[in-house]
């Protein structure tokens, strides 16, 4: 089933290193997620990559402090929000895409394989037929190599499965938003043991990311400050190739699969996986009960 060393042609991607978008990072301490505002250098247009909605899961309370920071920044700068991009269906935080879209507009986009993710988790959460599994909750479903514009700036999506089957890396000019493929060099790589994940496929996707130009800025979706260092989120392809502890310095696919599989077997489920999947597979909408009240489920012994 899993393609081995899937062939890809870097020339199919419209890389443009001369374009340098302004990138602002917003770190969410509760989930160690980094959200980004990416601004076209020649207009007032911008995109958001991987927003966060706050949840106090114990209390069942949703708030929007993190998303409001992004919204306030965009308003203060007089920017136009054109895209709200999800690199994948996150399992560790809730997306604020609908909340942000309601305030600022913009289209919500994710990888076309969201349909596989919806199918898998639609079953696990025993969703009824009213839960569509065709990705129609999103405004755009990206295929590998699809391009889009943010003002005059062209962005494109690179299909990078492995962590999940729907993961996409988004590249705008000399900035790539790697989602959960790579972490900072001393953090390594994302886990590959969720349903539809695969360590070998993740290795192949990471090689694809590392085939981008050496000077490409890479922006992480997560950082956990390994060994007590301060939180960081930006590196380069050259840095990752040389120093990434899981894939750098020429580590082989076989070495990676062995290491990743052993490591993943020891990892606990993310604290917020149950609410995150239910919300994020709906493009950030909170599911409702039969009376229309927002409500989350906890399926027992299903994950
Ligand atoms: Fe993730």
Ligand 1 center from residue 5 Cα (angstroms): 22
CATH of 16-280, one of 3.40.50.1820, 3.30.465.10, 3.60.15.10, 3.40.50.300: 3.60.15.10
Note the pLDDT tens digit of each residue in 21-30: 999 999 999 9
* Domain range summary for the chain, segments of one domain joined by +: 16-280
Note the pLDDT tens digit of each residue in 39-73: 999 999 999 999 999 999 999 999 999 999 999 99
**Under a CB-based contact definition with an 8 Å cutoff, are residues 36 and 48 in contact?**
yes
Ligand 1 center from residue 148 Cα (angstroms): 23
SS3 25: strand
Ligand 1 center from residue 242 Cα (angstroms): 24
Question: What are phi and psi for residue 75, nearest 5 degrees?
Answer: -65, -45
Ligand 1 center from residue 291 Cα (angstroms): 31
Ligand 1 center from residue 43 Cα (angstroms): 31
Spatial distance between the Cα atoms of 262 and 155, rounded to a whole number of angstroms: 36
What count of Cα atoms within 13 Å lies in the side-chain half-sphere of residue 225? 11
Ligand 1 center from residue 163 Cα (angstroms): 7
pLDDT cut 90: percent of the chain above it: 93
User: What pTM does this model have?
Assistant: 0.96
Ligand 1 center from residue 22 Cα (angstroms): 24
Ligand 1 center from residue 42 Cα (angstroms): 32
Note the pLDDT tens digit of each residue in 177-230: 999 999 999 999 999 999 999 999 999 999 999 999 999 999 999 999 999 999
């Amino acid at each position: 089933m899993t393609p081995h060393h899937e062939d890809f042609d870097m020339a199919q991607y419209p890389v443009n290193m001369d374009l340098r978008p302004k990138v602002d990072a917003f770190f969410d301490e509760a989930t160690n997620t980094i959200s980004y505002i990416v601004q076209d250098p020649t207009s007032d247009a911008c995109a958001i990559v991987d927003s966060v909605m706050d949840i106090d899961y114990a209390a069942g309370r949703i708030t929007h402090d993190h998303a409001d920071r992004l919204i306030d920044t965009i308003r203060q700068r007089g920017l136009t929000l054109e895209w709200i991009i999800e690199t994948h269906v996150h399992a560790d935080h809730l997306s604020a895409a609908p909340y942000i879209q309601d305030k600022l507009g913009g289209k919500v986009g994710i990888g076309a394989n969201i349909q596989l993710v919806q199918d898998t988790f639609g079953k696990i959460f025993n969703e009824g037929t009213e839960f569509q599994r065709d990705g129609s909750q999103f405004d755009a479903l990206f295929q590998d190599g699809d391009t889009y514009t943010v003002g005059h700036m062209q962005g494109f999506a690179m299909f990078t499965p492995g962590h999940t089957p729907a993961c996409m890396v988004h590249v705008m000019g000399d900035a790539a938003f790697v989602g959960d493929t790579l972490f900072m060099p001393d953090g390594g790589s994302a886990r590959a043991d969720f349903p539809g994940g695969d360590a070998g496929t993740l290795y192949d996707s990471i090689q694809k990311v590392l085939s981008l130009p050496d000077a490409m800025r890479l922006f992480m979706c997560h950082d956990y400050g390994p060994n007590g260092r301060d939180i960081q989120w930006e590196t380069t392809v050259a840095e990752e190739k040389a120093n990434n502890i899981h894939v750098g310095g020429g580590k082989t696919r076989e070495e990676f699969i062995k290491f990743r599989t052993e490591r993943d077997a020891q990892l606990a489920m993310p604290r917020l996986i149950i609410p995150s999947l239910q919300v994020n597979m709906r493009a950030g909408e909170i599911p409702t009960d039969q009376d229309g009240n927002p409500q989350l489920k906890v399926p027992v012994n299903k994950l």
